[in-house]
Amino acid sequence: MTYTSAIQFLDSFINFEQIKNFNPNRCFNLERMRLFLSWFEAPQNNYPSVLIAGTKGKGSTAAFLTSILKESGYKVGTYISPHLQHERERIQINQQHISEKEFVLGVELIKKKFQNKKIPKELGRPTYYELFTLLTFILFKKKKVDIAVIEVGMGGRLDATNVLEPLCSVITSISLDHQDQLGNTVAKIAKEKADIFRTGKLAVSAEQDKEAMKQIRFIAKQKKSFLFEDKIDFSVSLKKMSSQGLEFTFSMKSVLGNKAIQFKTPLTGEFQLKNAGLAVATALLIKKEGCKKISTASISQGLKRVKWPGRFEIVSQKPYIVLDGAHNGDSMKSLVRSIKKIFPKYCVIPILSVSWGKDVAVIAKELSGVSERVILTETEHSRSYEVGDLLEQVAPYFKRIEIASSVEKAIQLARISMQPKEILLITGSLFLVGEARTLSQLT
């Protein structure tokens, strides 16, 4: 089997990342996932894990925690989704993508097993995401990771990753997204996500909307999870934010007493402050659950050495070009605030592409807070809004709207007229960011 044929095998299964609308209650089935894992002797039980759900910040929090654990001397497996440029990004060992050879060997094992086993009809059809998650758990066992940091794909309750028994379950910031699948209020979405909590185990939550927090606390109490909350059990305080990164202090009385520790990280944006705080709190808590090598020094080094592409990623400074996958109103609002604080004297030229199912009007309204001009484009991804549909929805919010038929042409259009005090902001979708990162015009 070649790498290409391995990808083709995975692509032969239904991929909900490519589908505009679906009902998760009909399509997702944890019993099916448990069956697949049983065929491989439950590989996910061979290492401890941390499971991270949320609307935004999951990947960044996973990246921070991975870096901290690596600097603490652990061999860390990390699972993220979606990928920006190639599939192997999703499965990482110590911040390195697995090799094509390892990927192929894992897929071969799965294909052979599927050829020799039968899936009961009542369990339904397997999905691309389930097989990718299965592949991840198998490869982490084969690579003998010390600990796995796992990002939930969507929701929590029915996500294929929710078969784990994590040391700690983490919930990042929750806002309206995937309403057709998860519910039309933050409380309903929070209920789906908090289902990753485990009885008698650690749980950590970002600061949330009042109704979302109410659900999270209720489920934690119901499951007798030990819940730690941002702003109540730990806190982060911003000292400095610039294009070079963040400086902040962290305090957690139950672990650190009255001491506040100062940290630095190259990742920037006010949203990363919250994500870094979640990762630090989680690291300190799991230290008590067996990860004894974690120290203040290793946390500090991990935060300094973290890398996370596509989230307030400054890929050029002359001119400034910023990539950010903000894909709902809440994340766009946070992005705009950060742009204004970090680049107060700059004008912004946004390139915008949005995936189907997102609230384009809300995203556009927030983005208009930093620019009266926008360049609309579409990606090659099947869920990308066509430019014509985007134009209709963003028109009320911008005085100057330009259209480009491709991401490459959009960047060319923006750069032709860029002035020294202007920033090119590429945003609205991780698929847009992933496509942009492959283009030479960014360097």
Most confident segment among 24-33, 225-234, 433-442? 225-234
pLDDT over threshold 80, residue 234: yes
Close Cβ partners of 221 (under 8 Å, ≥ 6 residues apart): none
Nearest to 184 by CA among 211, 217, 146, 144: 211
pLDDT over threshold 60, residue 255: yes
> In the chain, what is the greatest distance between 2 CA atoms, to the nearest angstrom?
63
> What is the reported pLDDT for 124?
87
Question: Degrees (nearest 5) of the Cα angle 352, 357, 362?
Answer: 55
At 34-67, the pLDDT tens digits run: 999 999 999 999 999 999 999 889 999 999 999 9
Verify that 276 and 333 share a domain, yes or no: no
Helix (H, G, I), strand (E, B) or coil at 109: helix
Query: How confident is the model over 228-256, as a mean pLDDT?
Result: 96
Verify that 298 and 352 share a domain, yes or no: no
Verify that 227 and 359 share a domain, yes or no: no
For residue 264, report the phi and psi dihedrals to the nearest 5 degrees: -130, 150
Verify that 8 and 39 share a domain, yes or no: yes
Which structure tokens are listed for 58?
A: 């999951």
- Helix, strand, coil % over all residues of the chain, rounded to 5: 45, 20, 35
In the structure, what pLDDT confidence band is assigned to residue 25 with cuts at 50, 70 and 90?
Answer: low
pLDDT over threshold 70, residue 18: no
pLDDT over threshold 80, residue 229: yes
Which structure tokens are listed for 393?
A: 């929805």
Nearest to 349 by CA among 426, 257, 242: 426
- By residue range, what is the domain housing residue 257? 3-305
Share above pLDDT 70 across residues of the chain, in percent, rounded to a whole number? 95
Of 285, 305, 325, the last residue of a domain is 305
Share above pLDDT 90 across residues of the chain, in percent, rounded to a whole number? 82
* Lowest mean pLDDT across 111-115, 133-137, 248-252, 439-443: 439-443
Q: CB of 265 within 8 A of CB of 304?
A: yes
Question: Cα 409 vs. chain centroid, distance in angstroms?
Answer: 27
> What is the reported pLDDT for 297?
98
Q: How high is the mean pLDDT of the chain? A: 92
Verify that 72 and 213 share a domain, yes or no: yes
Nearest to 353 by CA among 331, 323, 375, 337: 375
pLDDT over threshold 90, residue 440: no
Verify that 320 and 181 share a domain, yes or no: no
Verify that 45 and 164 share a domain, yes or no: yes
> What is the reported pLDDT for 230?
96
Which structure tokens are listed for 253?
A: 């009385």
pLDDT over threshold 80, residue 362: yes
For residue 359, report the phi and psi dihedrals to the nearest 5 degrees: -85, 90
> What is the reported pLDDT for 29?
81
Helix (H, G, I), strand (E, B) or coil at 421: coil
CATH number of the domain encompassing residue 372: 3.90.190.20
pLDDT over threshold 60, residue 184: no
Nearest to 428 by CA among 361, 382, 373, 372: 361
Verify that 268 and 343 share a domain, yes or no: no
Categorise residue 326: left if φ over 0, alpha if ψ from -120 to 50, beta otherwise: beta
Query: How confident is the model over 134-146, as a mean pLDDT?
Result: 98
Query: How confident is the model over 75-95, as a mean pLDDT?
Result: 95
Q: CB of 284 within 8 A of CB of 302?
A: no
Verify that 250 and 115 share a domain, yes or no: yes
Could you tell me the CA-to-CA distances from 171 to 57, 124, 159, 211 in Å, in that order?
9, 29, 14, 15
Categorise residue 428: left if φ over 0, alpha if ψ from -120 to 50, beta otherwise: left
How many structural domains is the chain composed of? Answer: 2
Verify that 207 and 323 share a domain, yes or no: no
pLDDT over threshold 80, residue 293: yes
In the structure, what pLDDT confidence band is assigned to residue 27 with cuts at 50, 70 and 90?
Answer: low
Nearest to 277 by CA among 305, 308, 254, 246: 246
Query: How confident is the model over 187-202, as a mean pLDDT?
Result: 94
Which structure tokens are listed for 41?
A: 């002797």
Counting beta carbons within 10 angstroms of the beta carbon of residue 380, is it exposed (0 to 12), middle (13 to 18) or buried (19 or more)?
Answer: exposed
Verify that 55 and 197 share a domain, yes or no: yes
Nearest to 177 by CA among 29, 354, 26: 354
Of 260, 275, 305, the last residue of a domain is 305
- The number of residues making up the chain comes to 443
CATH number of the domain encompassing residue 275: 3.40.1190.10
> What is the reported pLDDT for 358?
87
> What is the reported pLDDT for 121?
87
Of 245, 275, 305, the last residue of a domain is 305
In the structure, what pLDDT confidence band is assigned to residue 132 with cuts at 50, 70 and 90?
Answer: very high
> What is the reported pLDDT for 417?
85
Helix (H, G, I), strand (E, B) or coil at 153: coil
Alpha-carbon distance of 51 to 278, in angstroms, equals 12
Q: Give the β-pairing of 96-97 and 91-93.
A: antiparallel
Residue whose tokens read 């009266």:
372
Verify that 336 and 192 share a domain, yes or no: no
In the structure, what pLDDT confidence band is assigned to residue 154 with cuts at 50, 70 and 90?
Answer: confident
Q: CB of 398 within 8 A of CB of 372?
A: yes
pLDDT over threshold 80, residue 21: no
